Amino acid sequence: MATNSSAPASPARRLILGATAAALLSAAVPAFAAETVKVSLNAPFDGSNAAFFLAEERGYYKAEGIEPTFDPSGGSGEAVTRIGSGTYDFGFGDINVLLDFNAKNPDSAGKAVYMLYYRSPLSIGSFAKAGIAKAADLPGKKLGGSLGDGAYKLWPAYASVTGIKPDSVAWSYGDLRLRETMLLKGDVDGILGFDSTMYFNLVRQGIKPEDIKFLYYSDAGMDIYGNAILASKKVMAERPAVVKGFIKATAKGWQDAIKDPAAAIAALKKKSSLVNEALETEKLQWLIKNQLVTAESKADGLGNVSAERFGKSVTTVAGAFGLPNVKPADVFDASYLPDASIRKLP
């Protein structure tokens, strides 16, 4: 008896045919591959960079099709050189160090694409007994610094605007994580760095808050911005959509971290189990209060800069470094900023 080839397929046969078709379709369409990016942080894993891990934990990067790898660094200055070399796509570093680097390495010049620190935390930390109350007290002292740190790289600029000779102090160098040890041991009279990092590292060692003194670069006439998210020249040229997606996701992470610092530190703890949650929460709260939340950021949100103020700061820093013809556009690019709703303070 002949078989009727037009007879409907049995349920089992339809299931097999459907599975075969799905397999063929799957083979024909490649799986979606996330855009991988390398990110240099501003320091070892701590409260200052916890917002990045909160953004990762909440799936903000994944939603933008991005898979980031976050690496600690020896300071915000190192983040600048890493994106300048092209080995890292993004960095979290000092915009003033970037200015100096770009002027000297125009072919490798990346840009700041999202401002975060509206007041620079760069400072000279000391104990009250050292008697360092003003810049004029520094000549003849011994200072400790980390070669990759933004505060050390900008020391010549600070010396210039305060009228002291850059070589009027003696230096001792060490890793960013050992800088406070030099001060505690009495090897130096003061150390350079971010106020919050120095403060909490010293408090952790039992130093009373009232014994810790700071000379701020910003108080010496350097009305400068601080850390920003930096993008390499390569990633901006080749993957501009990735830059926009990374900034959008990171901005949401910082918005959430400002709203709930404890959640950000909990995400950090999953990355670095040895962190002191209480101290790192205090550090993040310090940064939010002193660096992120200012009259400028309250009015305009995070991410952008005031054209007038930034222009003046570029002139000040470039002049102190002896760098001619540096323009704000050489350092900062606002074209990747996300919507105002994502940038506004919670």
Q: How far apart are the first and last CA of the chain?
A: 78
CA–CA separation, 15 and 301 (whole Å):
56
Res. 237 pLDDT band, cuts 50 70 90: very high
**What is the gyration radius of the CA atoms in the chain, in angstroms?**
25
Q: Which residue has the higher pLDDT, 259 or 4?
A: 259
Is the pLDDT reported for residue 10 higher than 80?
A: no
Tokens, residue 23: 């397999």
Residue 244 has pLDDT above 90, yes or no: yes
Whose tokens are 């100096």? That residue is 100
Answer whether 83's CB lies under 8 Å from 109's CB: no
What's the average model confidence in pLDDT over 248-258?
98
- Taking 50 as the threshold, does the pLDDT of residue 61 lie above it? yes
Task: State pLDDT tens for residues 180-190.
Answer: 999 999 999 99
Strand locations in the chain, DSSP E? 35-40, 66-71, 90-94, 111-115, 122-127, 142-145, 170-173, 190-194, 212-216, 227-231
Q: Tell me which amino acid residue 62 is.
A: K
Please compute the mean of the pLDDT values over residues 101-108 and round it to a whole number. 95
DSSP 8-state class, residue 38: E
Q: How confident is the model at residue 150 (pLDDT cuts 50, 70, 90)?
A: confident
Q: Judge whether 74 and 206 are in contact, CB under 8 Å.
A: no
> What pLDDT sits at residue 321?
83
CB burial of residue 304 (10 Å; 0-12, 13-18, 19+): middle
Strands 35-40 and 66-71: parallel
Sign for the CA dihedral angle at 120, 99, 46, 59 comes to positive
With bands split at pLDDT 50, 70 and 90, how would you rate the model's confidence at 9? low
pLDDT for residue 32 = 65
Q: How many CB atoms lie within 10 A of CB 213?
A: 17
Q: What is the DSSP string of 143-164?
A: EEE-TTSHHHHTHHHHHHHHT-
**Superfamily of domain 122-220 in the CATH hierarchy:** Periplasmic binding protein-like II (3.40.190.10)
Q: What is the pTM of this model?
A: 0.83
Helix, strand or coil for residue 291? helix
Overall average pLDDT of the 74-94 stretch: 94
**Cβ atoms 120, 222 nearer than 8 A:** yes
pLDDT in tens, 292-307: 999 999 999 999 999 9
Residue 316: the pLDDT is: 87
pLDDT digits (tens, 9 = 90+) for 169-182: 999 998 877 899 99
Identify the CA nearest to 316 among candidates 100, 42, 92. Answer: 100
The domain ranges of the chain are: 35-119+225-343, 122-220
Q: What is the pLDDT of residue 21?
A: 47
Task: Evaluate if residue 116 carries a pLDDT over 70.
Answer: yes
pLDDT for 6 beyond 90: no
* Alpha helices for 86-220 (secondary structure H): 95-104, 150-153, 155-162, 179-184, 195-204
pLDDT for residue 5 is more than 80: no
Strands 90-94 and 227-231, by their bridges, are: antiparallel
Average pLDDT value over all residues in the chain: 91
Domain 35-119+225-343 matches domain 122-220 at the CATH topology level: yes
Tokens of 35: 């855009």
Secondary structure string (H, E, C) spanning 102-113: HHHCHHHCCEEE
Q: What is the pLDDT of residues 216-228, one digit of tens each?
A: 998 998 899 999 9
Report the SS3 class of residue 168.
helix
Q: Residue 174 burial (CB < 10 Å; 0-12/13-18/19+)?
A: middle
Question: Could you tell me the two tokens for 141?
Answer: 């002292």
Write the burial class of residue 176 (CB in 10 Å: 0-12 exposed, 13-18 middle, 19+ buried).
buried
Q: In this structure, what token pair is assigned to residue 30? A: 């490649």
Q: Which of 195, 201, 135 is nearest to 169 (CA)?
A: 135
pLDDT of residue 73: 94
Q: Find the largest Cα–Cα distance for the chain.
A: 110
Query: Does 72 have pLDDT greater than 90?
Result: yes
Topology at the third CATH level for domain 35-119+225-343? D-Maltodextrin-Binding Protein; domain 2 (3.40.190)
